[in-house]
Amino acid sequence: MSAPHTDSPPALVVDNLRKTYRNGVEALKGVSLTVQPGDFFALLGPNGAGKSTLIGILSSLVNSTGGDAQVFGVSVNRQRSEAMKLIGLVPQEINFNQFEKPFDICVNEAGFYGIPRKLAAERAEKYLKELRLWDKAFHQAREMSGGMKRRLMIARAMMNEPKLLILDEPTAGVDIEIRRSMWHFVSGINAAGTTVILTTHYLEEAESLCRNIAIIDHGNIIENTSMKRLLATLDVETFVLDVNEAPGELPQLNGIAFRRVDDRTLEAEMARSQDLNSLFAALTGSGITVNSMRTKTNRLEELFVRLVEHGRKGPEEKAA
| Residues near another protein (CB under 8 A) | 21, 56, 59-63, 80-82, 84-85, 87, 89, 91, 93-99, 104, 108-109, 111-117, 156, 160
Smallest separation, CB 93 to another protein (Å)? 6
Instruction: Report DSSP state, residue 314.
Output: -
Q: How far is the CB of 18 from another protein (least distance, A)?
A: 14
User: From the CB of 92, what's the least distance to another protein, in Å?
Assistant: 11
Helices 176-191 and 146-157, interaxial angle, to 10°?
Answer: 10
108-81-162 Cα angle (round to 5): 60
Which of these, 52, 92, 71, lies nearest to 219 by C-alpha position?
52
Minimum Å gap between C-beta 231 and another protein is 33
How far apart are alpha carbons 196 and 199 in whole angstroms?
A: 10
Q: Residue 65 or residue 181: which is nearer to another protein going by CB? A: 65
CB of 63 to another protein, least distance (A): 6
The enclosing H or E element of 291 equals strand 290-295
Strand, coil or helix: what is 209? helix
Which of 83-94 are b and which e, b meaning 16 or more Cβ less than 10 Å from the residue's Cβ?
bbbbbbbbbeee
Cβ at position 165, least distance to another protein in Å: 13
Which of 239, 243, 242 minimizes the C-alpha distance to 296? 239
Closer residue to another protein (CB): 79 or 286:
79
Query: With respect to another protein, which residue has the nearer C-beta, 37 or 91?
Result: 91
- The secondary structure element, H or E, covering residue 187 is helix 176-191
Please identify, using beta-carbon distances, which residue of 98 and 145 lies nearer to another protein: 98
- Eight-class DSSP state of 44: E
Cα(181)–Cα(220) distance, rounded to whole angstroms? 33
Residue closer to another protein, measured from CB, 21 or 191 = 21
**Choice between 42 and 74, CB closer to another protein:** 74
